[in-house]
Amino acid sequence: MRTIEWDDEKDVVKLIDQTLLPGDYKIVECTRLDELIEAIKKLKVRGAPALGAAGAFGVVLAFMNEQDEATLKDEVEKLKKARPTAVNLSYGVNRALQAAMRGRSMQERCSYALEEAKRIAEEDVAVNKKIGDYGSALLEDGDVVLTHCNAGRLACVDWGTALGVIRTAIEKGKRIEVIACETRPLNQGSRLTAWELLQDEIPVTLITDSMGAAVMREGKVNKVLVGADRVVKEGVLNKIGTYMHAVVAKAHAIPFYVAAPLSSFDTAQSYKAVEIEERGPEELLFFGEKQIAPLDVKVYNPAFDFTPFELIEAIITEKGVIRDVKEDV
């Protein structure tokens, strides 16, 4: 199934529980908004575009279960804040809310929100295919592409942004290999990118995040390609570690590309005004159940970082490739 979808028979949101991959493939059903908010906070569903769809489906759950307007408003605010950095979450919530408000009864509002949420989900797949079409022209037969985190079908409703570009290039007959960085501390690269590429039989090699510089220096990487959580006035916010790869790519004259739908663009905003999600210390103190650091050590664990446009060769969107990106993007 897709990463996230609405089940019309049960009236629930269904999602692949990404915290269990690659060991277990399980589908979670959310009937209430608080369950979905919990799933978002725990990263059962994650990745900017998937969060956009989750936000919209969350509004449907809010209208389905909540009659009182004040509580509903409160719940929707909590949903928007569940993860603050990817702009897609509030984008999805706002679109579904606006659609809902055209209805006069709660029932009408609920069905308008559902129509819009389904539209957002369908659009996401179509947009990713377009990104794939434009982006695949930038990849050459034989390229080895380094990627960070997971900007694949699991981060979207389907197909993927950065990994979608690779999928389309392969569909067009190009031989592409991927180097996936493990993406500590939650390992979206090793758990999710490696898993979904292997599902599609796309050649992938796993490395630790700290190997990025060495493999680039050794000439093992032709291009770096990542997704985005938010494109702002001066650059791109994406998974922690993205900036490090961009600096190293620049030092070795390796093109650094970002693939992102326009729904991730928030270019009126400066990166300084965007909240970078800070996650709990347990993600660094433990690896699964195993303690890997003294419990009383001070921990700093931001989930995202900022990469300025001067390090980015181009941004691939559904409307085309933006080269020479600068502040007026």
Q: Which is nearer to ligand MRU, 156 or 176 (CB)?
A: 156
DSSP string of 254-302, one letter each residue: --EEEE--GGGB-TTS-GGGSPPPB--THHHHEETTEE-S-TTS----B
The one-character DSSP state at 175 is: -
CA torsion 16-19-23-27 (nearest 10°) is -20
Residue closest to 236 by CA, chosen among 183, 210, 274: 274
Distances (CA, A) of 268 to 15, 88, 265, 316, 328: 32, 15, 9, 19, 9
Nearer to ligand MRU among residue 109 and residue 153 (C-beta): 153
**Can you tell me whether residue 156 is helix, strand or coil?**
coil
Shortest distance, position 185 Cβ to ligand MRU, whole Å = 10
Amino acid identity at 76: V
Give me the catalytic one of 133, 158, 209, 229: 229
Nearest distance in Å: CB 173, ligand MRU:
24
Q: Which is nearer to ligand MRU, 64 or 149 (CB)?
A: 149
Q: Which residues would be at the binding site for ligand MRU (CB under 6 A)? A: 43, 46-49, 86, 149, 151, 155-156, 161, 188, 226-229, 238-239, 303
Contact present, 313 and 246 (Cβ < 8 Å): no
Least distance between ligand MRU and beta carbon 103 (Å)? 31
Select 72 or 160, whichever has its Cβ closest to ligand MRU: 160
In the complex, residue closest to ligand MRU by CB: 227
Pairing of strands 27-30, 12-16: antiparallel
State the Cα–Cα distance between residues 271 and 181, nearest whole angstrom: 24
Residue 151 vs 181, nearer CB to ligand MRU: 151
Q: Could you confirm whether 229 is annotated as catalytic?
A: yes
CB 127 → ligand MRU: shortest distance, Å?
Answer: 11
Measured from the CB of residue 49, what is the shortest distance to ligand MRU in angstroms? 5
Residues catalogued as catalytic = 229
